[in-house]
Amino acid sequence: MSNNEELAYKYAWDWFQHHAKQRYSSFYYFLLIMGALAYGYIQTNSSVQYKVVIGIMGLVISFAFLMIEKRNNMLVNDGRAALEYIEKKYKPFKNINIRAIEKQREKCFLCKFITHIVWFRIVILALMIMSILAILYPINFNVHCFWWFVLAVILLAAITLTFKNFEKKYDLPIKAN
């Protein structure tokens, strides 16, 4: 590889690595913040207003981190696309094509569910549902809690499907030969 090719590879790798670390860091801080909110919720023994406010904060923070997670995923995918392009065009490593190996893994049905994107979002959505229940529980509506849970799941599914269209895998404008 020439100096320009090595520089392009280093830039693509640094981009990928930076945004992958950022993704983990933001998820870590999300868990810390939600843990602090859960502790605060437990400590507010009988104050309905505080519990509702903490539940709303949890819902808003969960939604914000879901959007941050989606954005971080797009940036990580940009780095993956650049690395794939470099691997195809310049072949920096003999007989090693990491993206090709990863694409083989994508053919496995169960492997689609063993990814960071799936589990990060399951955790975020579960905490969103818990936040909705934290809002509804102290208000003591006359409807059984199960139906509020069903309503929360339907609402979160609708939100997720709505924002799914915003997340695209972008291809590089130049294709490798």
pLDDT in tens, 90-136: 766 666 666 666 677 667 766 666 777 778 888 888 888 888 888 87
**CA-to-CA separations, 22 to 6, 19, 75, 88, 169, in angstroms, rounded:** 24, 5, 10, 27, 19
In a domain, 175, yes or no: no
pLDDT in tens, 38-63: 999 888 877 888 888 998 999 999 99
Question: Is pLDDT larger for residue 163 or for residue 173?
Answer: 163
Q: What is the pLDDT of residue 171?
A: 43
> What is the C-alpha to C-alpha distance for residues 47 and 58, in angstroms, rounded to an integer?
17
In a domain, 8, yes or no: yes
Domain count across the chain: 1
In a domain, 116, yes or no: yes
Residue type, 142: N
pTM here?
Answer: 0.71
In a domain, 171, yes or no: no
- What's the half-sphere exposure (Cβ side, CA atoms, 13 Å) at 132? 18
Would you say 175 and 79 are in contact if contact means Cβ atoms under 8 Å apart? Answer: no
Q: What is the pLDDT of residue 37?
A: 93
Token reading at 158: 């609708």
Q: For residue 79, what are the domain limits?
A: 3-164
In a domain, 173, yes or no: no
